[in-house]
Structure formats: C-alpha cells, structure tokens
A and B are shown apart, each in its own frame.
Chain A
Amino acid sequence: MEKSLNWREFVITRAIKASGYSAIVFVLLIFVFLMREGLPALGEVEAGNLLSIRWYPIEEMFGILPLITGSIIVTIGAALIAVPFGIGTAVFISEIAPRWVREILKPLVELLGGLPSVVLGFLGILVLSPFLRVFLDLPTGLTAFTGSLLLGGIAVPTVVSVAEDALDAVPRAYREGAWALGATRWQTIWRVTLPAARSGVLTAVMLGIGRAIGETMTVMMVTGNAPVLALKLGSLFSPVRTMTATIAAEMGEVANGSTHYHVLFFIGIVLFLISLGVNIAASSVVFRAKKRAERILS
C-alpha cells in the first residue's frame, strides 16, 4: 500500500517537473533556431545596407529601419488607444457599473478578446478604411492609423480583463475607508483603488502592448504594407509596413537559405528583443513596486 503510494508520488512529481522544464527547453530551442537562421544575415548583408531606409529584397536592399519604425508607430498608436480606453472600461466595470451591467459587460469583453484577428482585419478593410479615407480625405484608407485603431481594439479586451481583475482584488475595506473620509467616488478611484491595483494594471498594459506588437494578420490587411520610413507625425496617416507583416508575407515565397531568408529571421530576432525589452521593463517596474512595499513593511 505505502509502496504503491510512494511510486505514484514519484511518477507524478517527475511528470510535473518534466512539463515545467520542457517549457524552458522549448523556449531555448526556439531561441537557438532563431539565432542560427537569423545571425548569418549580419555576415551576408553589410550593416549600412541593413540600416538603410530601403526595403526592396529583389534588388538586394534589406533596410529594416522602415519596418521597425512601422511596427513602433502602429504599436504606439494602438497603446494610446487601448490603455486609456481599456483602463477606463475596467474602472467602469469594477467600480461604477451596477451589478447587472457588470455581469453582461465582463463576459462580453472577454468574448471580444476571443475574436479572430482576421475577422477584425476584414472589418478594417471593408468598413473602417473606406470610412477613414473619406472622412480624413486621404489618398488611401490603408494607413498606420487604421492599423492602430484596429490593434487598439484588439488590445482593449486584454487590458480590460486583466485590469478589472486587479481592481476587483482591491479589498473593499480600502474603498469604504476612503468613502468614510468623505472622498468622492472619483477621488476614491483615482487616489485609492487605482494605486492599490497598480501592479496588476501595469501588467494589463504590458500584456496589451505585447498583444499589439505581436499581432500580424490585422496589420497586414489594413496598414497598406508600404515599407516607408515613418518618422513624422504625418506618417501616421500614410501606409506603413510592420515587421510581423513582412515576415508573414514574404516567408512563404523566399528561397530556403538565401540572404533574404536570413534577413527575415533577423527581423524575427529584433522583434524578439523588443518584446523581451518590454517584458523586462514591465516586470522591473512591478518588482520595484513590490520592493517598496516590502521596505515599508519591514
């Protein structure tokens, strides 16, 4: 009896351990693969070419700067839309809405998060971009701004869902304490509830941005895919091409092992580094907040 129990313990612990370690192994393998396929690009293409502003692979022009700025401008635009809107919605759901509204809104938002991005891209092409072209009087509706709007829409459910959970976890006693001191509802939200939920809200923002920067399908459909350097504010209303869209669009056509192939993988490395940077920045802020709380408690 005892022996068989020990044996089962052994198998279960090992199985859990194995699945835990396998996650690390997979990430490492992907990383190694990415490096092996991408790093040769540095040897095959001159740095000057790689950092130029012309992306025209057929003519051996591999300037990735337009792609990077394209990704950045679309992501910043999306974050500017998703963060205030998402946090606002989360505050509304958790603090202001009556219970029956909350019970409808929360599942609805989560449903929205499960919408396939290709469907949103479809909406973008057929509805949003013609509307923007006419409304803003642009030569084409397929612009960075269109992409930002849609990506913002995609990131909002993520932000709302995570931020609402964080706000909901703030003890009721904090709110009642503030109310009893004569704080208005807005003062309570702004000065007590949101700061108390800060780390969770920050995680929500970072997950939202991560979702936006990694999104491929929608941006490929609605940003126009022109690899033009986007540095001016006006570039927001002209077509851009993002890193993800470039990889997705060209990887299928490229000769295995060619320079173009290696450069596409190199773009993958850049993308990987950017999202790594975002994640590190996020966790260090959260970590610092935790450190501060620990210091106060000690």
Chain B
Amino acid sequence: MNKIVIENLSLQYSDGTESLRNVSMEIPANAITVLFGPAGGGKSTLLRCLNRLNDLADVEVVDGKVIIDGENILDPKTDVIALRRKVGMVFARPVVLPMSIRANLTYGLELAGEKRRSKLDEAVERSLKLAAIWDEVKDRLDDPAIALSGGQQQRLCLARALALQPEIILLDEPTSGLDPLSTGKVEAALQELKKDYTIILVPHSVQQAGRTADYAAFFLQGELVEYGEGSVIFTAPKDKRTEDYITGRFG
C-alpha cells in the first residue's frame, strides 16, 4: 500500500537554482524508505517537503504534487499544523528542550491542547518504549534532558516525535553525531517501529543506507536516479552512477 505518492515534483531555491527536478516516487507504508546520495542532492529538501517545513525556508514548489493518504499536502489549503502532527520528524542534531525528560515528551501534546495527566503519562511510557530508551530513563524522568548522552538525546527526540502518534516519521541523518553503539540502538528501534509506521530516512552513510533500507532512492544533484527495493539497489543497481556511488568511486 502506498502511503505517500510524489508526482513530478520540482523545487527551486528563491535565487532560482534548482533543488529537485521532476521527482516521482511512491513510498509504501510499514517500511523504511531510504533517500541517499551525495550532499546537495535534494534529499533533505524532499524530506522537508513532506511536512511542509520548507514553507519557512526559501524554497518554493515549482510544480508537482505530494499526496499523503489521498490528499495533496502541497495544496495551500492544507492544515499544516495537523500535517506536522501526522508527519513527525527527527533532525541530525538532537534538539532537546532545556527541561525535564518528561516535559520534553509531553511538550508536543501540550501544544496540541492535551491536558489530562493520565493521557500524558501514558504517552510518555509508550513513546519511550517505542524508541527503546525506556529502560535507561524510567527512573529519572524528572531529570533535565540535557544530562542525557548524545545517543540517548537522539532517541529521546525520536520518542518525542512518536508521542504525538504520527503515521509517518521523517529522519534527517539521525545518527550523524552518534557513536556506533548508539547508532545501532537507533537503527534497531527503527526496525521495530516500521511495523506500525511509515519511515523515511536520510542516512549519513551508504553503509547505513544498505543496512536499513527496505526501499532505497538514489539522488544526484536534484535528480532521482534510481528507486527500488533496497536489496536490489545495493547489490545489482541498474544505473552506472548508482553503482559508482555505492562502490565508493565518488561521493
């Protein structure tokens, strides 16, 4: 089942340079789809298109549609706030808020107007378990979140996105600042999460792309070069450029 359908999407920066060129792809639910390629290829821009975070940067949509659950979210009439609750996002650098672990998790829900204590507590436990960090922090939920290690902070940010019960999770190089052990924990959590969520990941290395991808899309200078099942792309790519990149001949 296709959760997200991108049709002929072209984006450009306000100074006229092209960011994405005529990209079309279908992203299935309950799988990890990886967007990879050298820097400046438009991966992050595409990711930020899916929760309309680009609205606030100097990127404009030239043409095309992004359809989530049958609705074109690029339509100006879309409720962007509701969209962002449905499409959660985790950034490269964990942005923990300067408050307690618990408050970090309930923040998004409180913004959405949830006040009932029982609901909030339930969301805290559920999302921390999903992000595979519950055992590490359950005894110190009221400690400041900044005291956590980098890897824990990143999983806390994942949990914070999950607390809003999104349907889609976008991850922009979520492990670029983490050690291999923490990276492994985050990747393991993602493998669990894909049973219930649609996950789109921009990895920080080809290796991570290969490890995690159910589906993979290779971007080069704004162009979608190749898209298909991860097992195929990383073993027998059809396009010469994809092969060159995967085998480390450039990038």
A interface residue numbers (CB < 8 A to B): 99, 173-184, 187, 191-192, 293, 296-297
B84 within 8 A of A: yes
The distance in angstroms between the C-alpha atoms of A97 and B212, with both chains bound, is 41
CB atoms of B161 and A180 under 8 A apart: yes
Contacts of A179 in B (CB 8 A): 53, 56, 84
Q: What's the minimum C-beta distance from B196 to chain A, rounded to whole angstroms? A: 19
The distance in angstroms between the C-alpha atoms of A181 and B58, with both chains bound, is 21
Taking CB atoms and an 8 Å cut-off, the chain B residues in 139-165 that contact chain A are 144, 146-147, 157, 160-161, 164
CB atoms of B95 and A296 under 8 A apart: no
The distance in angstroms between the C-alpha atoms of A207 and B162, with both chains bound, is 43
Contacts of A183 in B (CB 8 A): 81, 108, 111
Contacts of B53 in A (CB 8 A): 176, 179-180
B82 within 8 A of A: yes
Q: What's the minimum C-beta distance from B86 to chain A, rounded to whole angstroms? A: 9
CB atoms of A181 and B160 under 8 A apart: yes
| Known A99-B58, A181-B160, A182-B85; 12 more pairs at CB < 8 Å | A177-B97, A180-B89, A180-B161, A181-B107, A182-B84, A182-B108, A183-B108, A184-B81, A187-B111, A191-B111, A192-B97, A297-B146
Contacts of A296 in B (CB 8 A): 98, 144, 146-147
CB atoms of A293 and B98 under 8 A apart: yes
B112 within 8 A of A: yes
Contacts of B82 in A (CB 8 A): 182
Do A173 and B93 contact each other (CB < 8 Å), given the known contacts A180-B51, A181-B84, A182-B81? Answer: yes
CB atoms of A181 and B91 under 8 A apart: no
Contacts of A297 in B (CB 8 A): 146-147
Kindly supply a per-residue 1/0 record for chain B positions 44-56, scoring 1 wherever the CB is within 8 Å of any chain A CB and 0 otherwise. Answer: 0000000101001
Contacts of A173 in B (CB 8 A): 91, 93, 95
The distance in angstroms between the C-alpha atoms of A187 and B112, with both chains bound, is 10
Please provide the 5 A-B residue pairs with the shortest distance between their CB atoms, ordered closest to farther. A181-B108, A177-B95, A180-B89, A182-B85, A296-B144
Contacts of A192 in B (CB 8 A): 97
The distance in angstroms between the C-alpha atoms of A293 and B98, with both chains bound, is 8
Of the candidates B88, B97, B144, B146, which one forms a contact with A180 in the assembled complex, judged by CB atoms under 8 Å apart? B88
Which among B84, B157, B161, B164 has the greatest number of chain A C-beta atoms within 10 A? B84
The distance in angstroms between the C-alpha atoms of A184 and B55, with both chains bound, is 13
The distance in angstroms between the C-alpha atoms of A99 and B58, with both chains bound, is 10
CB atoms of B164 and A181 under 8 A apart: yes
Contacts of B89 in A (CB 8 A): 180
Q: What's the minimum C-beta distance from B34 to chain A, rounded to whole angstroms? A: 20
CB atoms of A182 and B112 under 8 A apart: yes
Of the candidates B58, B95, B98, B164, which one forms a contact with A182 in the assembled complex, judged by CB atoms under 8 Å apart? B164
Q: What's the minimum C-beta distance from A187 to chain B, rounded to whole angstroms? A: 5
The distance in angstroms between the C-alpha atoms of A99 and B15, with both chains bound, is 13
Q: What's the minimum C-beta distance from B64 to chain A, rounded to whole angstroms? A: 22
Kindly supply a per-residue 1/0 record for chain B positions 83-126, scoring 1 wherever the CB is within 8 Å of any chain A CB and 0 otherwise. Answer: 01100110101010110000000011001100000000000000
Closest to A187 in B: B111
Closest to B107 in A: A181
The distance in angstroms between the C-alpha atoms of A296 and B144, with both chains bound, is 6
Q: List 9 A-B contacts (CB under 8 A).
A: A99-B58, A176-B56, A176-B91, A177-B157, A180-B51, A181-B84, A181-B85, A182-B84, A192-B97
Closest to B56 in A: A179
CB atoms of A181 and B111 under 8 A apart: yes
Q: What's the minimum C-beta distance from B20 to chain A, rounded to whole angstroms? A: 19
The distance in angstroms between the C-alpha atoms of A184 and B161, with both chains bound, is 16
Closest to B145 in A: A296
Contacts of A178 in B (CB 8 A): 111
The distance in angstroms between the C-alpha atoms of A39 and B82, with both chains bound, is 67
Q: What's the minimum C-beta distance from A169 to chain B, rounded to whole angstroms? A: 15
Q: What's the minimum C-beta distance from B170 to chain A, rounded to whole angstroms? A: 8
The distance in angstroms between the C-alpha atoms of A175 and B89, with both chains bound, is 13
Q: What's the minimum C-beta distance from A180 to chain B, rounded to whole angstroms? A: 4
The distance in angstroms between the C-alpha atoms of A184 and B97, with both chains bound, is 17
Do A174 and B81 contact each other (CB < 8 Å), given the known contacts A183-B111, A296-B147? Answer: no
